[in-house]
């Protein structure tokens, strides 16, 4: 791929990800001399003019989002490579790993980090929702983490275009269906509360190392989202804060009206209860011994102390 240059500007390097509808490459922006990530539509989508039009429109909407916890969209374009039309999106390159990679490695994330990561994701959602953009595909694979622990949510706006086509063309829905809301599973209207449900699933997975619902096929998992109650995560992780357990279960309510009203309300709940949740545990503070009370202390002035030493030296001479 080193020899392929898109738009006479972006030189492709390594393949760094493959999704249901696109491949993602690390590339070099030769004009600005910086690394970027380029999402290239797979052939079956690139040939669908209606899909490409929606894809471009949604990418333009996502490009308006500017937030530290959102992967920036820099450019969109098309090119001809070896007789094939290539449609692509140029995005911010994040040098790190996905949240899914972290969960797979660590299995269970600490209370403190669950709160930290959840607040960052919720801040990204809050920014998008305020611009009337619903993500529709919040999952650990779409959350990137740099080496400093900064999270960035990617693929805003793209999920709305890809949902139906992804189910039709690929089996990647099996990976996504673990995180969809009940209303998505029913094919009903979705709003910001649907993204909050998906974030609840992500938080559940961070807390337990597993998703709340699993089955042999996507239909079975979707039905479980609609009908089944998730096992309380604290039963799978006894070290999970009870308050954090309650927040996760509220996010996973079947009825959207019983969830948090919006991402900002979730952020406040996490921040207001950070003392209980894991930033500082009350039981930990009880273990810290208080310093002993200082009773009466006699201070000897430095000048007086020096005077006494000089007198002692004089006596020795005599």
Q: What is the pLDDT of residues 8-36, one digit of tens each?
A: 999 999 999 887 788 999 999 999 999 99
Rounded-to-integer distance, Cα 70 and Cα 152, Å: 5
Q: Which residues of 108-144 are buried (b: 16+ CB within 10 A; e: fewer)?
A: bbebeebbbbbbbbbbbbbbbbeeebbbbbbbbbbbb
- Annotated binding site for ATP, which residues? 39
Rounded-to-integer distance, Cα 289 and Cα 272, Å: 26
pLDDT averaged over the chain? 84
What percent of the chain is predicted at pLDDT more than 90? 64
Asked whether residue 163 carries a pLDDT value surpassing 60, the answer given is no
pLDDT band at 159 (very low <50, low <70, confident <90, very high): low
Give mean pLDDT, residues 92-102. Answer: 96
pLDDT of 169? 34
Among the listed residues 49, 79, 113, 137, the single catalytic one is 137
For the chain, list the domains and their CATH numbers. 10-92 (3.30.200.20), 96-271 (1.10.510.10)
Rounded-to-integer distance, Cα 27 and Cα 14, Å: 7
List the single range of 28-37, 88-97, 152-161, 227-236 with lowest mean pLDDT: 152-161
Q: Write the DSSP symbol of residue 157.
A: T
pTM for the full predicted model:
0.81
pLDDT of 54? 80
- Annotated binding site, which residues? 39
Q: Is 272 a catalytic residue?
A: no
Give mean pLDDT, residues 129-150. Answer: 94
């Amino acid at each position: 791929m080193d020899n392929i240059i898109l738009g006479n500007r972006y030189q492709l390097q390594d393949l760094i990800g493959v999704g249901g509808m696109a491949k993602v490459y690390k590339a070099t922006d030769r004009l600005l001399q910086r690394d970027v990530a380029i999402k290239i539509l797979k052939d079956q989508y690139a040939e669908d003019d209606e899909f490409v039009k929606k894809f471009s429109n949604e990418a333009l909407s996502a490009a308006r989002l500017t937030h530290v916890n959102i992967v920036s969209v820099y450019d969109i374009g098309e090119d001809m490579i070896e007789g094939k039309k290539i449609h692509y999106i140029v995005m911010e390159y994040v040098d790190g790993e996905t949240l899914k990679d972290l969960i797979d490695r660590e299995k269970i994330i600490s209370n403190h980090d669950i709160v930290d990561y959840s607040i960052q994701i919720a801040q990204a959602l809050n920014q998008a929702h305020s611009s009337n953009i619903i993500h529709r595909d919040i999952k650990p694979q779409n959350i990137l983490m740099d080496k400093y622990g900064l999270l960035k949510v990617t693929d805003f706006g793209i999920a709305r275009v890809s949902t139906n086509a992804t189910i039709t063309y690929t089996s990647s829905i099996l990976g996504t269906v673990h995180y969809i809301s009940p209303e998505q599973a029913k094919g009903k209207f979705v709003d910001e509360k649907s993204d909050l449900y998906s974030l609840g699933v992500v938080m559940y997975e961070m807390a337990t190392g597993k998703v709340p619902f699993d089955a042999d096929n996507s239909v079975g998992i979707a039905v479980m989202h609609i009908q089944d109650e998730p096992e309380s995560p604290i039963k799978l992780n006894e070290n999970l804060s009870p308050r954090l357990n309650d927040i996760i279960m509220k996010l996973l309510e079947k009825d959207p009206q019983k969830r948090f009203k919006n991402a900002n309300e979730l952020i406040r709940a996490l921040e207001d209860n950070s003392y209980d949740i894991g930033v500082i545990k009350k039981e930990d503070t009880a273990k810290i011994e208080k310093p002993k009370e200082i009773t009466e202390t006699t201070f000897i002035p430095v000048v007086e102390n020096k005077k006494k030493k000089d007198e002692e030296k004089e006596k020795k001479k005599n």
